[in-house]
Structure 1
Amino acid sequence: MANKLAVITGASTGIGYEIAKIAAGEGYDLIVVADEPQIDAAAAGFGDDGVAVEAVQADLATIEGNDQLLAAIGDRPIDVLVANAGRGLGHAFVEQDVAAWRRVVDTNITGTTYLLQKVIERMKARDAGQVLITGSIAGLMPGSYQAVYNGTKAYLDSFAYALRNELKETNLSITVLMPGPTDTEFFKRANMMDTPVGKQDKDDAGMVARTGWDAMKSGSAHVVAGAKNKVQAAVSHILPDTVLANMHENMAKPEGQ
């Protein structure tokens, strides 16, 4: 790989897939990662721009899966890391299997935190690199009927700001992307198709990806994708948590319950 290198997780579909397309279009070689075989087909399309693309199928909910990705990267300098891999889970918390909610935590928090530490350590040694972390406006409000997921996104939103502060004397940049409901496989995989938010119109994944990529390239601390979501994010800083929880319930509670 002779070009700059972008490592993008969760790149088989959705926002990660769209970000990978943008990165390839701007001449970045890619290492794209997902926990499903579909990543190979996605990678074949990214190579159309004349860049080198390597696909890695790895379970980023585990330390071993992240180590598999790091081994694939080897000693190549990483210019961009897009920490986008994530997992959702809807319905009432007491009804969720322990294995299901633990996988959300392991993917969104444990695996992401581990990968960020390993990659940023290398970027800091070079004093160069850009990181985009996919958080969510969900992290700004109590997530009734999506409680664990919203909690993990609150962690990522906060964690990104903390990292940015710690690295403010370096040439690294940390940006957190905060999407709202986006037209991806997320709601189907999170078992939320029987909810109002699962059925409503959603933002285009390409628009969200471009918003996040441009914010990262400009060195912004964070960006909320979509005008409606910007309003919701602003309101979340004003209304009491009890009101926000009720608002979220109206979006995420399964119909008929």
Structure 2
Amino acid sequence: MASQGQFAIVTGASTGIGLELARCCAKDGFDLLIVADEPEIEQAAASLRANGARVEAIQADLATSEGVEKLCTATQGRPVDALLANAGRGLGRAFLDQDLGEIRRVIDTNVTGTVELIHKIGNDMRRRNAGRILITGSIAGFTPGAFQAIYNGTKAFLNSFSFAIREELRDTKITVTCLMPGATETEFFRRADMMDTKIGTEDKDDAGDVARQGFDAMMAGEGDVVTGLKNKVQSSVANVTPAAALAKQHRSQAEPGTAKH
């Protein structure tokens, strides 16, 4: 990829919010390096190129240090103007019923890999004193996630982490933005084995709308954006509701067998 124009990396870009974030970057003139841990990333790249975008795609598992290093190597030393750290995994059902290997994979993808990637790219940005970072958190991070305990816990970490490093970088020209969507129409709930739950089957926000709000907030240098009026209300209520009550409420949404019929 020739060194022309702004350069963005979007992770978890094969489907859903990640793919839509990549589309937003492309429409704004960014050259793109997109990544996911599945071969569908090549189809995503082809769809973006069909609309005139300059795109390279790699398949890499960002739950591993090897995958993060593969992504960083693929930049070929080109300065990254925007890092959209969107890769993430969900996992439904009761904690003690979940496979420990799957639990670790969610943590390694959502937290460990994200932190490692931001540390590497962020240090390059600091040396140049320029760059934008968008982290896909979630309003799930405001709620103890009964029957989604690991996922909600990782999103609580990402929400907190985003605000913390934004403050640390306050006196630089690097911005950090946290995108905090609610339930969004993607492959997330099917992959998380949650299609027999209320939250898995109810109406959700449009991924394109969510991505556009996140992208606009990143470009404006805003600290965070909660997408959708319903989610804004929900996040505000969560801040003043006891944790035990929130966990009980979440159970009614995420416990297996609560799907709408």
Name the TM-score class by shorter chain. over 0.9
Calculate the aligned-residue CA RMSD, in Å: 1.0
Query: How many equivalent pairs are there?
Result: 257
- Deviation per residue, 1:125-172 (Å, 9 max, x gap): 111100100000000010000000000000000000110011001000
- Whether the 8 Å CA contact 1:180–1:203 is kept in 2: the answer is yes
Give the whole-Å Cα distance in 1 for the aligned partners of 2:77 and 2:70: 13
Is 1:19 matched up with 2:21? yes
Is 1:66 matched up with 2:68? yes
1:191 to 187, 190, 193: 193
Report what 1:171 is aligned to. Answer: 173
Q: In structure 1, the residue corresponding to 2:50 is in which secondary structure?
A: helix
Give the whole-Å Cα distance in 1 for the aligned partners of 2:165 and 2:51: 33
Q: In structure 2, the residue corresponding to 1:16 is in which secondary structure?
A: helix
Letter in 2 for 1:134: T
Q: In structure 1, the residue corresponding to 2:162 is in which secondary structure?
A: helix
- Deviation per residue, 1:205-255 (Å, 9 max, x gap): 000000100111111110001110000000010000011001100110011
Unpaired segments ≥5 residues, structure 1: none
TM-score by length of 1: 0.98
Offset at residue 256 of structure 1 (A): 6.5
Q: In structure 2, the residue corresponding to 1:254 is in which secondary structure?
A: coil
Report what 1:205 is aligned to. Answer: 207
Structure 1 stretches of 4+ moved >2 Å: 48-51
Give the whole-Å Cα distance in 1 for the aligned partners of 2:258 and 2:48: 42
Is 1:31 matched up with 2:21? no
Report what 1:130 is aligned to. Answer: 132
Offset at residue 48 of structure 1 (A): 3.0
Give the whole-Å Cα distance in 2 for the aligned partners of 1:65 and 1:241: 36
- Whether the 8 Å CA contact 1:24–1:47 is kept in 2: the answer is no
Give the whole-Å Cα distance in 1 for the aligned partners of 2:233 and 2:249: 14
Q: In structure 2, the residue corresponding to 1:176 is in which secondary structure?
A: strand
Is 1:110 matched up with 2:112? yes
1:183–1:256 CA distance, 2 compared to 1 (3 A): closer
Offset at residue 74 of structure 1 (A): 1.9
Give the whole-Å Cα distance in 2 for the aligned partners of 1:256 and 1:153: 23
Report what 2:53 is aligned to. Answer: 51
Letter in 1 for 2:198: P
- Whether the 8 Å CA contact 1:27–1:49 is kept in 2: the answer is no
Identity %: 55
1:127–1:256 CA distance, 2 compared to 1 (3 A): closer
2:94 to 84, 92, 95: 92
TM-score by length of 2: 0.97
Report what 1:252 is aligned to. Answer: 254
Report what 2:241 is aligned to. Answer: 239
Q: In structure 2, the residue corresponding to 1:155 is in which secondary structure?
A: helix
Unpaired segments ≥5 residues, structure 2: none
Letter in 2 for 1:98: L
Offset at residue 45 of structure 1 (A): 1.3
Letter in 1 for 2:8: A
Letter in 1 for 2:58: V
Report what 1:222 is aligned to. Answer: 224
Give the whole-Å Cα distance in 2 for the aligned partners of 1:184 and 1:40: 18
1:141–1:68 CA distance, 2 compared to 1 (3 A): same
Give the whole-Å Cα distance in 2 for the aligned partners of 1:196 and 1:122: 43
Offset at residue 3 of structure 1 (A): 1.6
- Deviation per residue, 1:153-207 (Å, 9 max, x gap): 0000000011001100100000000000000000000000000000000000000
- Deviation per residue, 1:99-129 (Å, 9 max, x gap): 0110000000000000000000000111110
- Deviation per residue, 1:8-57 (Å, 9 max, x gap): 00000000000101111111000000000000010011123433210010
Offset at residue 93 of structure 1 (A): 0.3
Give the whole-Å Cα distance in 2 for the aligned partners of 1:217 and 1:93: 38
Give the whole-Å Cα distance in 1 for the aligned partners of 2:43 and 2:49: 11
